[in-house]
Amino acid sequence: MALAYNTGHCDDFALPGGQAQRSPPAPARIRWTSLALIHPTARMMNNAQGRTMHCMICGGPTAYYFSKQYDGPYGIFMTDIPSVDYAICGSCGFVFSMTHQALDADRWSRLNVEFHDHCAQVPYDQKPNSPPYAEQALMLGLAATGTIIDASSMLDYAGGRGILSRLVADLFAMRLDVYEPFVRDEGVSYLDKGDLTKYKVVFNSAMFEHVLCRQDLDDVNDLVDPDGVLIVHTVVGERVPQDPSWFYLTPPVHTAFHTNRSMAVLMEQWGYTCSIYAPKAKSWILLKGDVSRVLDQADAINRRLKTQWLIAKEGFVDYWK
């Protein structure tokens, strides 16, 4: 299965003019019924028995949500895909592209290659939503010195051109291995898929929005050691806007959109008990074990920095309402 990754478009929910917004607009009321009855793509996505598609996160019922047509700079990659149709889960609010799921592997891979080749040509100072690499490196350094994470074995899964790995090495003398199935950059030592093992820390930046099936998510979590942590950088809000112009739909390789509820479900399914959110790094650390210990560790770092740099709680930190 080909995946897209690291588009550099992860940011807070945004209003026109660049203003931040803590809560995306509420979606219109959805009538929960068979996908096959209400949209052509949904009919194609149903199985031979005619059963309704279920959410890859929680197994709940899904319904057609809205459609989007791509034009502008990314329209050239979508000339044979006139419309992208999205469905929403009635239980956890997870939203996914039915159209992308229906693409064959070659077309999906070609879309990824074309898009990322295009992004590679954009100067860094013209990328408005690049991942906060410096803040992510600082988060890893603080978490390691504060014993929140064990930095003895760390992996950046779908780590792109290894920017975070190099920063962590330069700033904190820590090793962050990189697995990246598509791109290569000189000076980065990449792991092949067959070399992957279990890690105390698995970092995953801007890939959770590129998945086509549940296995794509489980493949990442399966690399986490039984007492390790999973770190996720993506956009998560209370709900996904029912709006084709929503900024996070702009990259044509974004296919999956998470909510506070869907992430809480994933945490529970994977056995994580608590989480830490670093707003400046826009990343969540998912942890197992003693919740009170994690809360104390995060508080110790905040007191050291004289600011609430980390937010910790039992379950998923639903920071964006």
Question: How does pLDDT run across 111-142, given as a tens digit for each residue?
Answer: 988 887 888 788 877 766 778 999 999 999 99
Return the DSSP state at 227: E
Cα 308 off chain centre by: 24
Q: Which amino acid appears at position 153 of this protein? A: S
pLDDT score, position 52 = 63
DSSP letters, 233-299, are ES-EESS--S-TT-GGG-STT--EEEEHHHHHHHHHHHT--EEEEETTTTEEEEE-S-HHHHHHHHH
Residues in the chain with pLDDT < 70? 1-52, 127-128
pLDDT score, position 144 = 97
Q: Phi, psi (5° rounding) for residue 251?
A: -65, 125
Residue 65 · residue 41 · CB < 8 Å: no
Domain 1-321: which topology? Rossmann fold (3.40.50)
Round to whole Å and give the CA distance between 53 and 55: 7
